[in-house]
Structures are given as C-alpha cells and as structure tokens.
Amino acid sequence: MNTAEWLHEGHTRIMGILNVTPDSFSDGGSYTTPEAVRKRVAEMIGEGADIIDVGGESTRPGFKSVDVNEELKRVIPAVKLIKEEFDIPVSVDTTKTAVAEEALSAGAFMINDVSGLFMARSMTELIASKEAFCCLVHNRKEVLRVTDTIEYLESVCSELESIAAAAEKAGIRHESIILDPGIGFAKTHEQNMMILSNLEHFRKLGYPLLLGASRKSVIGNILGLPPSERTEGTIALSVLAAGAGFGFVRVHDIKENKRAVLMTESLKSFRRERRGAWTISR
C-alpha cells in the first residue's frame, strides 16, 4: 500500500461501510449473503468508494458482543470475496485479534479498531508484525463529565496522543496510524457536538484523521429522523471533515458524500489558488 497515495494531506477518501451483521443500527441484515455483498460492493465502487470497511459485529449503543468464531464466519468470506473479485482496498472493523489476523491474511490492508487497541492488547503486536495500517478510535470506558469545550477537546486529543504513542511503542509505524475522534463512543450529545463543531482542532495531532459519524444518533437528535433518513445530515458532517482536512470519512451513502467531498475540495483548491494570486498582486 502506497502511504503517500492513501494518506497524503489535502484529500479526503471515502470509506464505504459494509456491515455483514444481522443487527447493525442502520443496515443490519442487508448484506449477509455472498450475492448481497457482491452487489453492494459493486455499487459502492461505482459510486466512488476508495476503501471498503467490513464489519462483523455491531457497535451500536447496547450491542451484544459476538463470539470470535461467529465474527470470523461473517467477516472473512466477505473479505476474500472482495479481494478476489474487485480491485479496491479493504479494511476490517474489529476489536478481536484473531479476526484481524485472518482478515489481514485474506488481503485486508487496515484494521479499524473502535477500542483504540485497549480491548485487545495483542492487536498492536499483530499490526506491527504485519506492517498493516490501523485506525485507532477514541473510545473511553466511561463518559468523561466535562462540559467546557476547550477542556474536552484537549482531553480527547491527549487520549488520542496516548493511544498513538502506545501503538508506536509496540512497533506500529507512525505513517500507518489514522486517528478517529470517536463520534458516538462514550460521549454525550453535547460532547459529540463539541467535536463536530471543532474538527480542525484535531489537525494538531499530526496524524491522518477519520470521521465516522454516518447516520449516527447525533444527527438523529438534531433532525428528529431515523437512521435511514440521515443522509443529508451525514453529508453536512462530511463537508465539515473535508474542510477541516480529514483524510477519511466513513459513510453508508457513497455517491452523495463523494460528490459533496469533491465539491468541498474543489472550493478549497480554488481558494488556495486565488489567495496566492491575491498575495502576489499586492
């Protein structure tokens, strides 16, 4: 995998969500057969996905953890199918080392660990030994009761820095780490809003950033809509992420978010060029 190609600053990649689960909050049960996986992946690629993120265990509020063998049965066939039939990078959303190991062997290039590597310490050694990429998500065991915006943002940044430092100490390459502020994980609605309204704050961490807010409850709380009707809210957040320089947005609705991100990037490019011309003319 070409680091410069996938993680270069100034471009936002579209990570398409493929939940091969019966119980995910938005699309559970939709992609649990090879035929459904094949059709959906083809659709996502056609709509502009840059990466497919396969998940075999729901992380919705109140989810029940699944047995490792069950998660393997869900995830690995999907990864193999995608790698055999399509030309697109695959990441796997898992906290289980056994699942990650099998997924990497099947052709996945990245592990998206919503535990921030805290639930499975052995995950760091695996990712380091395979020289794989990883996305580390801010996810505390309990909500931090902080209501001051700056104080809260600094606490999230500090914890993300600690997660990344631990990963590097275990041998994971700096250039292989992506950080995610963890919308919806151990956060109140107000704290989610603090993060979303200050995404540029996380640029100081010095790592590529991913925003995973697609169809989440923070959107539903504002718009009063069920998950299936939160596309426009997700697009708004993808635009903010692209504007703030995030390297990835993880979304369900590929086409709509891809177009919004491309438009945002075009405007950013135009602004940079015109600012340069304005400075020279003065």
Active site residues: 216, 250
279, with CB counted inside 10 A (0-12, 13-18, 19+), is exposed
Query: Number of helices (H) and strands (E), helices first, in the chain?
Result: 10, 8
Q: 36: which DSSP letter?
A: H
State how far the Cα of 157 lies from the Cα of 133, in Å rounded to an integer.
20
11 contact partners, CB below 8 Å, separation of at least 6:
247, 265
- Angle between helix 97-105 and helix 122-130 axes, rounded to 10 deg: 10
Q: Taking a C-beta distance cutoff of 8 angstroms, is the pair 30, 58 a contact?
A: no
Going along 50-207, which residue ranges are E strands? 51-55, 90-93, 110-113, 133-137, 177-180
60, with CB counted inside 10 A (0-12, 13-18, 19+), is middle
Q: Taking a C-beta distance cutoff of 8 angstroms, is the pair 178, 247 a contact?
A: yes
